[in-house]
Structure 1
């Protein structure tokens, strides 16, 4: 089965959905969309670092994503105006990453694959890395679920319960950086934030509890992956963007169904 590149692509996309589903729910609840963008865009700088030093691309991506996520988290804790700060950091990181890649001598890598993903080129090693990271992220969020949810709902309530909101923000920061490193190969730096937000936003129209929303986001992400791959094969469209397009269609459809139910 794993010799089939379509099967590997499908398993890779589902693995990413396992990580982005529950994390995406917290991204929406905490209004961290720009946070995800900044961390994902910084991944390109990590790619340049890895190519220049001979490190695995996943390792370079993870290091820089962690650095960016920690920086953003620290600024958020100091009360900075985050819209402007994140906008500057996000686009500056992407620009510096693309410039840095151009200085790598003898580069024979398609940078576009890192921007938009290349899910059809996922190999067995990539698949192992994706699922290892996905299980780690899902396990981390499951372990800290109650504390994360309390800190998200009300920081004063979290303090009263003996929970440090800053520590829980750091947990989300680490999870987000790991998701960026895992998802870069599949959907690329420019679409990672969409994979976090769109399935979770679609799941919100179905779910009545936080746990149900997280699980539904995983299912919708997996369905978008399979649908996007089918569209890509049928119409010869880019696979990564096709996955996000199908996720957006699912979101629009579920939103329409929810609106009809409210009118009924």
Structure 2
């Protein structure tokens, strides 16, 4: 079964969708869209460093993504507007990564594959990494679900309940870094944030509970992967962007349904 490249591609995409679903809900609830974008853009610098030092790309991307997230957390309380800070760091990390790649001599790299993904080239080893990372993210979010939800709703309530919101922020940061590291092969640096945000945003009008929204986001992500891959095969379009296009259409449909269904 794993000898078929389309099967491997579908399994890889489903693994990323499962990891991104619950995490994307917290990104939407906390208005962290730019935070996810900055972490994803930093991944290309991780790719360059991994190739330069001949180490695992997964290790390099997760390390740089964590450093980016911690840098944002450190600087956010020091007089910088969050959107300005994230804009500077996101584009700077991407630019430094692209420049670093240009200095790599004797190494052939398909930069487009890292920017927009190359899901059709996923190997069995990549599948193991993707599903291992997805399982870790889901287990981590499931373990801290109640604490994460409480700190997201109200920090004062979290403190009163004995929960440290800063610790929960670190949990989200770590989960986000893992997701970026495993998703870079599937949808690429420039589309990772889309897979985090769009399925969660599309699932919001279709659910009434946080758990329902996470489940809806997972289903929408999986449907986007399967339909997007099929569309890419039939229409001969890029697979990663096709997946995101399907997710965007689902978001548009759910938004229209929300407008047609009267509020209760």
Give the equivalent residue in structure 2 for 1:210.
Answer: 210
Structure 1: which 5+ runs fail to align?
none
Match of 1:53 in 2: 53
Q: Which residue of 1 aligns with 2:104?
A: 104
Aligned equivalents of 2:12 and 2:69: distance in 1?
Answer: 24
Give the corresponding residue for 2:172. Answer: 172
State the alpha-carbon separation in 1 of the partners of residues 4 and 170 from structure 2.
Answer: 38
- Is 1:37 equivalent to 2:37 in the alignment? yes
Change in CA separation of 1:263 and 1:178 when aligned onto 2, cut-off 3 Å: closer
Distance (Å, rounded) in 2 between the aligned partners of 1:251 and 1:235? 22
Partner residue in 2 for 1:21? 21
Measured against aligned partners, the alpha-carbon deviations of 1:183-234 in whole angstroms (never above 9, x if no partner) come to 0000000000000000000000101000010111011000000011011001
What aligned pairs does 1:122-201 form with structure 2 within 5 A after superposition?
Answer: 122-201=122-201
Q: Deviation at 1:78?
A: 4.7
Q: Is the 2:14–2:225 contact (alpha carbons within 8 Å) kept by the matching residues of 1?
A: yes
Runs of 4+ aligned residues of structure 1 deviating over 6 Å after TM superposition are none
Deviation at 1:80, TM superposition (A): 3.4
Structure-1 residue corresponding to 2:72: 72
State the alpha-carbon separation in 2 of the partners of residues 63 and 263 from structure 1: 45
User: Cα RMSD between the aligned structures?
Assistant: 1.2
1:87 has 2:87 as partner: yes
In 1: Cα distance, 2:256 partner to 2:178 partner: 33
Q: Does the 8 A contact of 2:198 with 2:248 survive in 1?
A: yes
Equivalent position of 2:242 in the other structure = 242
> Once the two structures are superposed, what CA deviation does each residue of 1:106-163 show, in whole Å capped at 9, x if it has no partner?
1211011000000000000000000000000010000000000000000000001010
Q: Does 1:254 align with 2:250?
A: no
> Does the 8 A contact of 2:76 with 2:85 survive in 1?
no
Instruction: Identify unmatched segments of 5+ residues in structure 2.
Output: none
Quote the offset at 1:75 in angstroms: 2.4
Conservation of the 8 A alpha-carbon contact between 1:21 and 1:217:
yes
From the superposition, tell whether residues 136 and 77 of structure 1 become closer, same or farther in structure 2 (CA, over 3 Å).
Answer: farther
By how many angstroms is 1:49 displaced?
Answer: 0.2
TM-score for the superposition, normalised by structure 1: 0.98
Q: Is the 1:46–1:65 Cα contact (8 Å) retained in structure 2?
A: yes
TM superposition score normalised by structure 2 = 0.98
**Separation of aligned partners in 2, 1:34 and 1:107:** 32
Distance 1:23-1:263 versus aligned 2 partners, 3 A rule? closer
Separation of aligned partners in 2, 1:263 and 1:192: 32
Is the Cα–Cα contact under 8 Å of residues 73 and 173 in structure 1 kept in the other structure? no
Distance 1:43 1:258 in 2: 35
Q: Does 1:231 align with 2:231?
A: yes
